[in-house]
Structure 1
Amino acid sequence: MDSSKQLDQTMTLEDGRRLGFAEVGYSAGLPVVYCHGFPASRLESVLIAQAAERQRARIIAPDRPGYGLSDLKPARTIGSWADDVAQLADSLGIERFSVLGTSGGGPYGLALAAQLPDRVQAVGIICGLGLLEDPEATQAMHWPARFGFGAARSAPRMLRLIYGEFLGRLIFRSPEVALSLLALGSPASDRSTLTRPEIKAALCASVREALRSGGEGAVQDMILYAHDWGIDLAQIRMPTTFWHGEADVTVPLSHTLALAERLPHAQVFTFPGEGHFSLPINRADEIIKTLIESIKRGNP
C-alpha cells in the first residue's frame, strides 16, 4: 500500500508567512484537511495515520498561525483560516477536499466549509467545541476551561499573562503533566487512552510542538473561540457529520447538539462510554470511512 508520513513540511503564503503542515496516511487517497485540536499541532495527525492508510485517505494537517511551524498572524479570525488552507491546497495541486476537525479544530473545520463551499466536499467534526458566546455553554466544562474562556471574553491581558506566559511555558516543558491533570477528571475510557504509551507520546509531542514558539497562538484561539466566530453556519450545505462521546467532560455533548441544530445537512453519532480522547482513537477507522462515504454520496 502507498503510505506516506511527511511531518515537517512548510510553504510560504502570499503575505510572506510560513505555514507548517504534515501529510500522513495513503498518499494517493482522497485528500482530507485535518484541523488539529487545542493546544495542538500538525503532529496530532499521527494518531490517525494508520487508520487513514487503511481507509485510503490522504491526511493533510496544517499548523494554525502561531502553532508549530506556522508564523503568527496578529489580526487573524476563525474565518481567515480558509485563506491559508486554500493556498496550501493550491500549492499541493488539490482542487477539492474534505475536512476533519477535532475538538478546538471544530470551529476551523466549519469555517472552511462556510468559506470554501466550492472546494469542500464534506465535513467531519470529532468532539467539536461549540459556540461560547453564551456563558452557559461553558458551565458543564472543567473549571480551568470556564476560567480561561471567561478571561478570553473579559480580560485578555490576564489571559495572556496566565495562559500565554506561565502555563504555556509549563506545558511546553512538561506536557505529560497537563495530560495527567486531564486524566484525573476524565471518564475511564479517557484515562485508559491517555495512559497508553504510544498515545501519550504522540499527544505530548503534538502539544510541545504547538508551543515551540510560545503561547500566543493558543491565546489567540481562546479569544476567538469565546467571541462571535464570524461565520454563517446556515450557509454550510455540504454533508456534515458529528461524532461525540457521551462521557466527554472536556467538551460536553451539548456543544455538538447545539451546532448540529444550526446546520441543514448534519448527522450526529454519539457513543456511550467514549470520552474526548478515547473516541477519535478508538473510532478512527469508522470516522474516516464514514467521511469518505459521505463524499461519494455527494452534496444533497
Structure 2
Amino acid sequence: MDYGVREPARLGRTQLLDGRRLGWAEWGPADGTPVLLCPGAATSRWLGFGGGVVDSTGIRLISVDRPGLGASDPAPGRTLTSWAADIRHLIQDRALRAPSAVGFSQGAPFALALAANGLVNAVAVVSGSDELAHPRFTYTLTPQVRDMVDAVAADPDAAEASFASFGRADTLWDLITTTSPEADRAVYTEPVFQHAFRRAMDEAFSQSPAGYARDTVLAMDRWPFDPADIAVPADLWYGQQDTSPVHSPDLGESLAQMIPTATRHLLPAVAGSLLWTHAEAVLRTLVAHVR
C-alpha cells in the first residue's frame, strides 16, 4: 500500500531575525500553491504526506521543524505566539504567497496559531490535538492525560523536565505501535512508511529531547488565542475509529462550534492515520478555499 510518503524534493534552512534557523522540507512544484505542514509530536520535516498528489494538484507542501527539533535551532521558552512570529518571517523570506496550513495531531495548535494570527488563508486540522486544558474537557480526559495537563498547570518547568526525561524516539515509537488501533498500526508498520516515520522521529531527537518536551508543554497548556477569532476557512478532519487519548476527546465537535468558519469532517471507518489514508481529500478541500 502506498501511503504517499516520498523523499523531499528540496531541503533547506531559513535564518530568522535573531540568527536562529528554521529547517524545512518541500514536496511538489516550487511555484505551486504553498501549504505549510505542522507535523505531529516527536517527528520532523522528513515525514510528509500526499506524495502522489502534490504534483498533479500543483501544491507546494512545506514541512517546518519547530524550534529544537530536527534542523531548527532551539528557542528555550518558546510559545505558540513566538512560533507564529517565526513563521511570519519564513513566509516573507520565502515569498510564500497566500499560504494555507495543515496541522496533524500535536501540530494542530501550531497550525491554528497561524490562522489566529492571520498568517494563512485556510487551515486544516487532521486528527488534531485540542485545547486539552480547556474546562470543556475537565471530565473527559484519560487519567494519564489529565495528570499531564495538571502537571503543566501546577509547574510548567518541572513538567517540561519530566517530558524531556521520557522523550526518546524508541520509547515513543513503542508507545504509538502498541496503543494504536489496528487500522493505524497497519499504516505505521508498512515497511516504506515505517522507515520514513522512524527517520523523522530520529531526526526530531537529534539535538536533544528538549524540543519535544517544549512542544508537549504547549500542547497541554491553555492556548494564547481564542479559536473564535479564527476568520479563515478551517476544516477539522477526524476518523471515528481514532483512539488516541491526546487527540481531541470529542473528535473536534466542540472545537468546530468554537471556530465560526469551521467545517467538521467525521469519517466513520477511519482512524488517526487519515493524513496519509485520505491525503487527497484533505489537500483538495484545503486549496479549494484559496484558489
Taking structure 1 as the reference length, what is the TM-score of the superposition?
A: 0.86
What is the aligned partner in structure 1 of residue 149 from structure 2? Answer: 149
Kindly indicate whether residue 141 of structure 2 is the aligned counterpart of residue 125 of structure 1.
no
1:141-220 equivalence runs, <5 A: 144-165=144-165, 167-168=166-167, 171-172=168-169, 174=170, 178-220=172-214
> Partners in 2 of 1:199 and 1:139 — Cα distance?
36
Secondary structure in structure 2 of the residue aligned to 1:281: helix
Aligned residues with identical type, % of pairs: 30
Correspondence for 1:259 among 244, 255, 280: 255
> Partners in 2 of 1:138 and 1:56 — Cα distance?
43
Taking structure 2 as the reference length, what is the TM-score of the superposition?
A: 0.89
What is the aligned partner in structure 2 of residue 238 from structure 1? Answer: 232
Moved more, 75-84 or 240-249: 75-84
What is the aligned partner in structure 2 of residue 98 from structure 1? Answer: 100
Q: Which has the higher helix share?
A: 1
Mark the runs of 5 or more structure 2 residues left unpaired by the alignment: 1-5
| Backbone CA RMSD of aligned residues | 2.3
Is the CA contact (8 Å cut-off) linking 2:43 and 2:204 kept in structure 1? yes
Kindly indicate whether residue 45 of structure 2 is the aligned counterpart of residue 42 of structure 1.
yes
Q: Over residues 228-282 of structure 1, what are the superposed CA-to-partner deviations in whole Å (9 max), with x where a residue is unaligned?
A: 21112212111111110111111245151121111111101111131112x1111
Q: CA deviation at 1:5?
A: 2.9
Q: Closer, same or farther in 2 for the Cα pair 1:83/1:183, shift >3 Å?
A: same
Q: Closer, same or farther in 2 for the Cα pair 1:248/1:149, shift >3 Å?
A: same
> Partners in 2 of 1:48 and 1:233 — Cα distance?
27
Mark the runs of 5 or more structure 1 residues left unpaired by the alignment: none
Q: CA deviation at 1:133?
A: 1.6
Q: Closer, same or farther in 2 for the Cα pair 1:4/1:27, shift >3 Å?
A: farther
What is the aligned partner in structure 2 of residue 286 from structure 1? Answer: 281
Q: CA deviation at 1:80?
A: 1.9
Is the CA contact (8 Å cut-off) linking 2:160 and 2:214 kept in structure 1? no
Is the CA contact (8 Å cut-off) linking 1:149 and 1:222 kept in structure 2? no
Q: Over residues 139-196 of structure 1, what are the superposed CA-to-partner deviations in whole Å (9 max), with x where a residue is unaligned?
A: 666665444334333344543444213x22xx23x3xx53343233322211211220
Question: What letter corresponds to residue 122 of structure 1 in structure 2?
Answer: A
